[in-house]
Structure 1
């Protein structure tokens, strides 16, 4: 698409309001992506209302990430085959239906399946809107503004998951009055508020979202579609089952993981052999794309790993309310949102390498103290550390994501975006399931015997707290390991700003061709 700084044209050559379109995409996708982590502080509430265990309640997040990850490979085909305006309208309709289904699920353990069904439908829609927005932003902004555009995109990818626990904590604390309206403290409100936003975005999409991506009539390769859904779905299902079944369960954990991996390998082999692949995995042949995607995965795993554990630690160990545990994380969330556009602009000036190295170092330094936290570690100290971690994540995520799109030709953007997002979502799903299971297993292995609960209740409570702390510390140590690996990966990323093939390059002298 040709770019004119004064006029932006759609695929029919008609001018459209780019600012209005971006605003609709941002608010709609933000409300959807918010659902990734919005239940972090609500887990204890869900456990109580539905009368379910911690591991079962955590499925509300792991199943969301699972369905979200499964949809990412499909997004490349959908964005190539279906007009962008139509695709957004369908996705927003699904988002509305999914959130409504979850919000109005009866609070009964026998109806937990309905809650999860709503989460899955919502995740499917987000799995379309999130990568689609990246491709759209790359197409409607000129190359010299690409970093800034992806920085705007980073408000959704970075801020929404980061602010989810804080927003939920505020909602769950007590009833609030906002603009004359009473906001209920029920967990249902966590879904109803974004549902209202999505409904508004759905209506506005008919007027402001335009067709801005080239499409072509390609035939759906049913075999690839089935292999993609089954492969990623079964693989992630195995990790989802770890929290409840443990690593020793062959039928529900080991077998699905192995079977899923085999199907994914078969899927990749088929894509390489096809002239017109369902998802062109050959983008990973580009070393810089693979490195930057790996860096994004590690940053996401380091962020999600600690982020999903902290609310439970603050509530169960410190006895904090949902509001206070959310407020502890709020400065870090705001840090992420403020820095995403800034780091995008910095990428336009100096590229991703230096930003990623510094970002991962900051992330590691902010994570290290979490490995030594105690039951008396102050909330203010945790707030400062968490904000420092999110500062590091912000310096890593958008520059590496922008570079991963820029090292490839523009016509490969849908497949590059699908591959990058698939990798990121698989990483998120795996790390949440992994750390949940690790924490739970360590607690189970170190908890005192039930007899002590009757004989010496105080000692039993103290020993249970010690068991919980051991689980949390190991989880935080794993998050620190991801940050260290990120530093190593960033060292091999190309220096300077990179622009797509066929365009004039303005890069630093240390850039080397791949």
Structure 2
């Protein structure tokens, strides 16, 4: 769009043909989505506190994360339909209300008792359902608001949310838990409740100003909801992820709660996929996977996510249980890595515009492998500064992979397929996260249980019992870290098959968007 001879680059056109400023809308979306994404890992350093308050096992406490990822994984495939059916502003506002309600439910959950654990989990499910909408919607909106030639830089901004929020979650929680808070005359000491106060406040502000800042930027169509596809999607991904969630508490041999849900989930997902490929107007257009570059980038992103979570969820437990650190101190050990992620995401986005995804993916995967390998050999005496340096190296490598590959995946598709591509890409990532957290919680718990010393040593030889218990914990964490290393190696191997050059959408699409229009 031009005024006189001067092109307006700070404005864009919404789907109603009205101009608006992009910067305020992008800032609000990034801030609100950051508050939502923070919920994914914010309870990582609070697992010992939850175990104490609810008198539950580590595997049960990890359900606060696995059920979040389960609900998130179910909602992400639905996001493509919602983004096409409903206006951008309305969908965002509804999602923010659900997210706010979820945070408030957890914050105000009944006094900690094992019988009230379900209330806590219900709040987490509400949070995850909202994030399952806002996260993929953010990426689709950014794709539609900026021209393809700026895709790397824009996705780098998105990386501040998708990458930095989960990375900073454990540190943020540890800092909050280290302080006493007085709210409405009630003192919260070492309470997980206080973790939700700041995100609630931020989200509340975003919710109030959303009607004035958000605009309808995505083209909508009056598409009919295919109930069968919706049921297949929810049941398939729900059963599959629920089965893996139960692994942590029931083990791998439980037929009713683990094996059967996973098998039935896989079968329903296959039926769902077959129907989508053969429908004229699919609920989720899986034909995006016919594009090789999109498929490969999605696989690498899923593997990198599993490698990241393999250490992300277990390292705070290692720092607290083996090194005896507080929640704050264990979070501070991870803080430089989180900051590295935040710094590198925009830089990696800009680098992608110059060198493409393959080089960044290869270099980033190698750095991730080098930074992960020593974790397999950590001891009780490993210096904290060494762990901080390794974690920072890992996050440096992850940042070099995440956003460039996400931008590459989106650039491999026409803009008209952005919603389906984003939903498919994020579904793969959320399924990978849910599976790996459940898997590692189960494996670590089982290894520790089988390796822990005999109970009688606790009274007959307390020192020997303590030493053997530490060794049992280390064995469990070593296995977890080794699995994270394996996923990083698989990501490196897959990255070799990526295309080496940046893919470009048609010049017409680029020209239209650079002038503030939309590509239909």
Name the TM-score, length of structure 2 as normaliser.
Answer: 0.94
Map of 2:347 onto structure 1: 342
CA gap of 1:503–1:357, structure 2 versus 1, over 3 A, is farther
Aligned counterparts of 1:207 and 1:277: Cα–Cα separation in 2 = 34
Query: Is it true that 1:219 corresponds to 2:187 in the alignment?
Result: no
- Higher mean displacement: 61-70 or 106-115: 106-115
Query: Is it true that 1:42 corresponds to 2:46 in the alignment?
Result: yes
Map of 2:85 onto structure 1: 81
Report if aligned partners of 1:408, 1:501 keep a CA contact under 8 Å in 2: no
Map of 2:99 onto structure 1: 95
- Residues 404-435 of structure 1: CA deviation (Å, up to 9, x unaligned): 01101110000000000000000000000111
Aligned counterparts of 2:360 and 2:181: Cα–Cα separation in 1 = 40
Report if aligned partners of 2:10, 2:23 keep a CA contact under 8 Å in 1: no
Report if aligned partners of 1:407, 1:501 keep a CA contact under 8 Å in 2: no
- Higher mean displacement: 445-454 or 259-268: 445-454
SS in 2 for 1:16: strand
Report if aligned partners of 1:148, 1:344 keep a CA contact under 8 Å in 2: yes
Map of 1:424 onto structure 2: 429
How far is the alpha carbon of 1:192 from its aligned partner? Answer: 1.8
Selected match of 2:60 from 56, 77, 90: 56
Selected match of 1:243 from 237, 240, 248: 248
Map of 2:517 onto structure 1: none
How far is the alpha carbon of 1:104 from its aligned partner? Answer: 0.8
Query: Is it true that 1:158 corresponds to 2:171 in the alignment?
Result: no
Report if aligned partners of 1:221, 1:278 keep a CA contact under 8 Å in 2: yes
Aligned counterparts of 2:128 and 2:505: Cα–Cα separation in 1 = 31
How far is the alpha carbon of 1:4 from its aligned partner? Answer: 5.6
Aligned counterparts of 1:172 and 1:498: Cα–Cα separation in 2 = 46
How far is the alpha carbon of 1:119 from its aligned partner? Answer: 0.2
SS in 2 for 1:450: coil
Selected match of 1:330 from 335, 347, 360: 335
Aligned counterparts of 1:500 and 1:222: Cα–Cα separation in 2 = 33
Selected match of 1:369 from 342, 357, 374: 374
Q: List aligned pairs for 1:478-489, cutoff 5 A.
A: 478-489=483-494
Report if aligned partners of 2:67, 2:245 keep a CA contact under 8 Å in 1: yes
- Residues 143-200 of structure 1: CA deviation (Å, up to 9, x unaligned): 11111011000100000000000000001112379xxxx9964211111210111111
Aligned counterparts of 2:256 and 2:340: Cα–Cα separation in 1 = 43
Map of 1:453 onto structure 2: 458
Report if aligned partners of 2:349, 2:403 keep a CA contact under 8 Å in 1: yes
How far is the alpha carbon of 1:13 from its aligned partner? Answer: 1.0
Give 5+ residue unaligned stretches, structure 1. Answer: 506-514
How far is the alpha carbon of 1:497 from its aligned partner? Answer: 1.7
Aligned counterparts of 1:239 and 1:366: Cα–Cα separation in 2 = 28
Aligned residues: 503
Aligned counterparts of 2:466 and 2:10: Cα–Cα separation in 1 = 66
Map of 2:516 onto structure 1: none
- Higher mean displacement: 89-98 or 45-54: 45-54
Report if aligned partners of 1:66, 1:233 keep a CA contact under 8 Å in 2: yes
How far is the alpha carbon of 1:458 from its aligned partner? Answer: 1.4
SS in 2 for 1:188: helix
Report if aligned partners of 1:335, 1:387 keep a CA contact under 8 Å in 2: yes
Map of 2:316 onto structure 1: 311
Selected match of 2:405 from 397, 400, 403: 400
CA gap of 1:329–1:45, structure 2 versus 1, over 3 A, is same
Aligned counterparts of 1:229 and 1:120: Cα–Cα separation in 2 = 14
- Residues 224-276 of structure 1: CA deviation (Å, up to 9, x unaligned): 00000010000000000000000111111111100100010010011011000
Aligned counterparts of 2:198 and 2:55: Cα–Cα separation in 1 = 25
Query: Is it true that 1:270 corresponds to 2:275 in the alignment?
Result: yes
Give 5+ residue unaligned stretches, structure 2. Answer: 511-520
Q: List aligned pairs for 1:76-155, cutoff 5 A.
A: 76-106=80-110, 107-155=112-160
- Higher mean displacement: 167-176 or 409-418: 167-176
Aligned counterparts of 1:270 and 1:10: Cα–Cα separation in 2 = 33
SS in 1 for 2:44: coil
| Structure possessing the higher relative contact order (Cα contacts under 8 Å, 6 or more residues apart) | 2
Query: Is it true that 1:14 corresponds to 2:18 in the alignment?
Result: yes
Report if aligned partners of 1:171, 1:184 keep a CA contact under 8 Å in 2: no
SS in 2 for 1:376: coil
Aligned counterparts of 1:141 and 1:45: Cα–Cα separation in 2 = 44
Map of 2:439 onto structure 1: 434
SS in 1 for 2:216: coil
CA gap of 1:6–1:64, structure 2 versus 1, over 3 A, is closer
Report if aligned partners of 2:181, 2:194 keep a CA contact under 8 Å in 1: no
Q: List aligned pairs for 1:284-299, cutoff 5 A.
A: 284-299=289-304
Runs of 4+ in 1 over 4 A off after TM superposition: 1-4, 182-185, 501-505
How far is the alpha carbon of 1:496 from its aligned partner? Answer: 2.1
Query: Is it true that 1:193 corresponds to 2:193 in the alignment?
Result: no
Aligned counterparts of 1:463 and 1:171: Cα–Cα separation in 2 = 32
